[in-house]
């Protein structure tokens, strides 16, 4: 284990080194750069992989991109993720997985599909534009070593082989992570291992007319198949391979078109990518070794059935970076960094368990068991296909930096309404910024408490009051367009929410005494 010393050591060349410059690494570098943290990002590959791998993001991730100021650049490459219709063994509709309805809780379409290569280029370009970030592509990490109050990285690239030092390291170097292997960290196997072929196509108009208009899960025991409607002409099929089929052979074009014959012919589309995978459910046994942290695929892998793979990696770095910034500034003690593994490992394990359950439904190969599955799922909907939302599948944070007083709101994402400002209609983050926030119901006594305002200022919390559009709550209260926050406060029977920099709720309170106690608790936890 590498030694631990609180605070930043100016003797080290960098405060943080990011190994791997894929989506998670690029977001980590951007978040670090936005805090002015001296950051080195390295990747052995020089260019973005030119074919799509991840295909889905959600509103939590787009909110983060918007906080970085790059969501607008990405919009041409993003589209809503339509409902996924699940069809049973006889081809009958058995259920739907959709997104929550409007007004959207975070202000964006809750679930989206995207084209990875151009989005990843935008992420990389943004990170490279930040003055405190140095990016070295074509640079390979050879080994890590312990330095005085930091980590030594031996790297080989255009400048030859050399050593650099950093206070901390974030390993975003993928499923075969060299950092994880060097640290001897194993995976816990959550017991899911199925062979699938992933096929990406650019489909012409004639082909699009043949395909389902929504996403689909064909839960056919003869050949389970997933169909995803990507942006523009992009369509994806994920097809389960059967015992005895050679994964590499099925990647060949003639075999791909054989598997697609139920839907398309080569005249209908251009084959963009065909790659065989084993869909795993793996989580690192530990996410931190001294000053080194694992993130993204280096820390976990899950089946892709609700499109959360890349989202999970970006959640990792969003959770970790603000904590590193607090410690590097000397505002919090080293123990804050231990909450990274506590929170993210538990979250990944719970979501992966839920995704596995969906995967087991889809992957059922026994015809009798599949028929029983279909009957059970329809019975759960009272004999009709019911709709569940992707948002209810993703859990809240169940542990870590949360208020000691239990509440259902703790660990959930705080909503983001559209608010009316002097500058016009804006999302709450745009109007007020991120960071630590104390959000108050604008029509409550708390919104007018000078003592609470003073306490928030002392602790560096941004104070935000929100009220419904037609409420006369005073000049310092923002008026929201659709009652998203007002309804949230009513549902949780509270008038105040302490919101973390990653938008998760630390805790809520209904009155001044409870809020004052919660602020004291937060101050103690951040020491």
CB 502 within 8 A of CB 437: no
Q: What is the pLDDT of residue 472?
A: 63
Q: What is the pLDDT of residue 4?
A: 37
Segments of 344-495 assigned E as strands: 386-389, 418-421, 424-427, 437-441, 462-468, 477-480
Instruction: Please give the CATH architecture assigned to the domain spanning 418-525.
Output: 3-Layer(aba) Sandwich (3.40)
Q: What is the pLDDT of residues 278-296, one digit of tens each?
A: 888 999 999 999 999 999 9
> What are the sequence ranges of the domains in the chain?
14-78+112-187+284-355, 418-525
List, in sequence order, the alpha helices (H) in 7-147: 23-34, 59-68, 71-74, 116-128
The enclosing H or E element of 17 equals strand 14-19
Percent of the chain's residues with pLDDT above 70: 97
d(CA 158, CA 121) in angstroms, rounded, equals 21
Domain 14-78+112-187+284-355 has CATH 3.30.930.10: no
d(CA 32, CA 90) in angstroms, rounded, equals 52
Q: What is the pLDDT of residues 199-242, one digit of tens each?
A: 999 999 999 999 999 999 999 999 999 999 999 999 999 999 99
Q: What is the pLDDT of residues 32-80, one digit of tens each?
A: 999 999 999 999 999 999 999 999 999 999 999 999 999 999 999 999 9
Cα-based distances in Å from 222 to 212, 274, 330, 359? 20, 21, 59, 15
pLDDT at 7 over 50: no
Q: Give the pair of three-digit tokens for residue 203.
A: 């489909």
Arithmetic mean of pLDDT over the chain: 95
d(CA 254, CA 273) in angstroms, rounded, equals 13
pLDDT at 142 over 80: yes
Per DSSP, what are the bridge partners of residue 17?
Answer: 40, 169
Average pLDDT over every residue of 269-286: 94
Provide the pLDDT confidence category of residue 5 given band limits of 50, 70 and 90. very low
- Three-state secondary structure call for residue 345: helix
Phi, psi of 337 (to 5 degrees): -70, -20
* pTM to 2 decimal places: 0.95
Average pLDDT over every residue of 84-105: 96
Q: Considering just the CA atoms, what is the radius of gyration of the chain in Å?
A: 24
* Cα–Cα–Cα angle for 424, 429, 432, rounded to 5 degrees: 75
Provide the pLDDT confidence category of residue 470 given band limits of 50, 70 and 90. confident
Q: What is the pLDDT of residue 475?
A: 57
Q: Give the pair of three-digit tokens for residue 49.
A: 């992989």
Neighbouring CB atoms inside 10 A of 361's CB total 21
Q: What is the pLDDT of residue 192?
A: 86
Largest interatomic CA distance in the chain: 72
Provide the pLDDT confidence category of residue 9 given band limits of 50, 70 and 90. low
Closest CA to 40 of 126, 133, 102: 133
Q: What is the pLDDT of residues 394-404, one digit of tens each?
A: 999 999 999 99
Lowest mean per-residue pLDDT among 10-14, 205-209, 442-446, 498-502: 10-14
Q: Give the pair of three-digit tokens for residue 471.
A: 């409420």
Closest CA to 411 of 492, 357, 356: 492
Between helix 309-329 and helix 59-68 the angle, nearest 10°, is: 40
Average pLDDT over every residue of 261-280: 95
Fold match between domain 14-78+112-187+284-355 and domain 418-525 = no
- Three-state secondary structure call for residue 160: strand
CB 28 within 8 A of CB 299: no
């Amino acid at each position: 284990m590498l030694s631990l010393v609180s605070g930043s050591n100016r003797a080290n060349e960098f405060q943080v080194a990011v190994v791997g410059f894929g989506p998670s690494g690029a977001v980590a570098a951007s978040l670090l750069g936005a805090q002015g943290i001296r950051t080195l990002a390295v990747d052995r590959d020089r260019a973005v992989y030119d074919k799509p791998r991840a295909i889905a993001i959600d509103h939590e991730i787009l909110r983060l991109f918007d906080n970085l100021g790059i969501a607008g650049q990405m919009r041409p490459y993003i589209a809503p993720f339509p409902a996924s219709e699940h069809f049973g063994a006889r081809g009958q509709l058995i259920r739907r997985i959709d997104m929550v309805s409007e007004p959207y809780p975070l202000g964006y379409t809750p679930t989206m599909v995207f084209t990875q290569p151009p989005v990843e280029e935008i992420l990389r370009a943004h990170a490279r534009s930040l003055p405190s970030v140095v990016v070295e592509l074509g640079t390979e990490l050879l080994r890590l070593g312990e330095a005085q109050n930091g980590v030594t990285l031996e790297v080989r690239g255009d400048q030859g082989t050399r050593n650099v030092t950093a206070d901390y390291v974030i390993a975003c170097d993928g499923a075969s992570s060299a950092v994880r292997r060097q640290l001897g960290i194993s995976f816990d196997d959550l017991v899911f291992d199925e062979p699938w072929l992933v096929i990406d196509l650019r489909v012409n108009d004639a082909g699009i007319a043949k395909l389902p208009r929504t996403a689909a899960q064909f839960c056919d025991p003869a050949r389970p198949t997933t169909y995803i409607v990507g942006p523009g002409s992009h369509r994806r099929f994920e097809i389960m391979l059967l015992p005895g089929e050679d994964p590499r052979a099925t990647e060949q074009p003639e075999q791909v078109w054989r598997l697609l014959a139920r839907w398309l012919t080569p005249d209908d589309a251009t084959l963009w990518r065909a790659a065989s995978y084993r869909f795993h459910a793996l989580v690192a046994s530990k996410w931190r070794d001294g000053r080194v942290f694992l993130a993204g695929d280096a820390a976990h892998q899950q089946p892709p059935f609700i499109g959360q793979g890349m989202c999970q990696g970006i959640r990792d770095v969003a959770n970790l970076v603000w904590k590193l910034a607090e410690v590097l500034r000397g505002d919090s003690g080293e123990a804050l960094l231990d909450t990274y593994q506590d929170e993210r490992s538990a979250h990944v394990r719970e979501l992966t368990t839920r995704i596995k359950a969906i995967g087991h439904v889809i992957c059922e190969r026994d015809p009798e068991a599949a028929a029983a599955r279909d009957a059970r799922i329809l019975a759960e909907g009272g004999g009709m296909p019911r709709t569940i939302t992707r948002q209810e599948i993703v859990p809240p944070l169940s542990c870590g930096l949360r208020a000691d007083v239990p509440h259902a709101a703790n660990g959930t994402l705080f909503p983001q309404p559209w608010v009316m400002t002097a500058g016009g209609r804006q999302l709450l983050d745009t109007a007020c910024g991120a960071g630590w926030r104390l959000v108050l119901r604008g029509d409550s006594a708390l919104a007018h408490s000078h003592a609470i305002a003073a306490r928030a200022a002392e602790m560096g919390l941004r104070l935000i009051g929100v009220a419904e559009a037609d409420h006369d709550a005073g000049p310092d209260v923002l008026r929201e367009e659709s009652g998203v926050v007002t309804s949230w406060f009513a549902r949780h029977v509270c008038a105040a929410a302490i919101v973390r920099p990653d938008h998760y709720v630390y805790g809520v309170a209904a009155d001044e005494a409870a809020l004052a106690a919660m602020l004291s608790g937060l101050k103690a936890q951040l020491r």
